[in-house]
Amino acid sequence: MDNVADFKEIIDVIKTNGGDAFKSCYQCGLCDAVCPWNRVRKFSMRKLVREASFGMTEIESEEIWRCTTCGKCPQQCPRDVKQIDSGVALRRIATEYGVFPAHVRPIRTVSASLMGEGNPLNSDRKKRRDWADGLAVKDFTEGMEILYFPGCYLSYDPRLKKVARATAAILNKAGVDFGILGTKENCCGESIRKAGAEELYKRLARENIKTFIDNGVKKILVSSPHCYHTFKNEYPDFRVNFEIIHISQYIYELINTGRLEIKKEYKKKVAYHDPCYLGRHNGIYDEPREALKKIPGLELAELPDSRSDSLCCGGGGGRIWMETPKGERFSDIRMDQAVQAGAQVLATSCPYCITNFEDSRLSLENSEAAEIKDITEIIQEVI
Ligand code: SF4
Ligand code: SF4
């Protein structure tokens, strides 16, 4: 099949996106050995790297959309080939040409929804603060202690609204002076960026930054590791620096400073799953575990593939918007691991992980054994 982009263009685009590192690849294959795809089907990042370094990538192929940006192969690569940056560069070319294989096409609807309504879920911007109906949640005003930024999934998704509500309950119980931006909040843009829509990401980021500055925001509390990652590591490209804290860190801090008191027992065996963008990409492994360990009666179980070796749920890099066939879902493997570990609860701290685990739970025969919980939902039950 002919390529829609010529090889020189492919090489140039990869180069301008930090892809020069491609050249240092010596085809050792370590990336393929650690990639979660090779647990469910064949996929070779090594091959993609090789083809791209010669400008031979088939831009219309499904393969360039497979990487979940989980971060596992870059941490193993002996030549510091920045596989994620280069892979995203290939998606940018495909996006520019409007070439999307069938299972990637939902990205078009997602992009249109992000442009029109500021969220990827085709939901009305006006309804963005509805999750807080009936709760003591104020609009953010300058001088408040912290801005709570729940993000798109917690604002709209019926399952994840419960997490936003649990978070608000925790903050109120701890006496935190917080507010939300409600309808003024936009998607953080992290995942659409990894899906190759760089200009759309920039637009969302600029609008958010302007809103933060106009409203006097200094410190931002987030629920999603994807919001955390982009606010902390990518928004500084726009020469801004807000203080960013993830809810797992904040809960740990609130408990340690005596602002949040654990009053009840939670007599269950809980396995904690490290989300890629909280753990591998940002090094936050201990705080969620330490917060859970403060709960009397709770037995914390470790899964295989934990901490920096964590098994991706399959939702990063825009994959949350693409259909992954049954038999190829990493989250099914994770659910099985939780069941094997005897966990009654599989806990995590990321909206994509929860979405994928809940789907797996529905489709797996023995999944009744493990409930899926965000750590805020567990904390809410014991304060
Ligand atoms: S691990 Fe690095 S050097 Fe080895 S094949 Fe993969 S990209 Fe190339
Ligand atoms: S970042 Fe993760 S999903 Fe992507 S190629 Fe590397 S190991 Fe595979």
303 torsion bin: left (phi>0), alpha (psi -120 to 50), beta (else) = beta
pLDDT of residue 1: 40
- H or E segment at 346? strand 345-348
In this prediction, residues 81-110 reach a mean pLDDT of 90
Among protein residues, the one with the nearest Cα to ligand 2's atom 4 is: 67
How many other C-beta atoms lie within 10 A of the C-beta of residue 97? 13
Instruction: State which of 44, 83, 90, 276 you would mutate to test the pocket of ligand 2, scoring each by most atoms of that ligand within 8 A of its C-beta.
Output: 83
pLDDT of residue 19: 62
Whether 71 has a pLDDT exceeding 70, the answer reads: yes
Percent of the chain whose predicted confidence (pLDDT) is above 90: 84
pLDDT of residue 93: 86
The strand pairing partners of 148, in sequence order, are 221
Instruction: State which of 72, 308, 328 you would mutate to test the pocket of ligand 2, scoring each by most atoms of that ligand within 8 A of its C-beta.
Output: 72
pLDDT tens string 125-158: 999 999 999 999 999 999 999 999 999 999 999 9
pLDDT tens string 166-189: 999 999 999 999 999 999 999 999
Ligand 2 nearest atom to the CA of residue 70, by list position: 2
Dist. CA 51–CA 151, nearest whole Å = 37
Ligand 1 nearest atom to the CA of residue 22, by list position: 7
pLDDT tens string 217-241: 999 999 999 999 999 999 999 999 9
Whether 13 has a pLDDT exceeding 90, the answer reads: no
Ligand nearest to the CA of 65: 2
Dist. CA 322–CA 269, nearest whole Å = 32
pTM of the complete model = 0.96
Residue 298 in contact with residue 262, Cβ under 8 Å? no
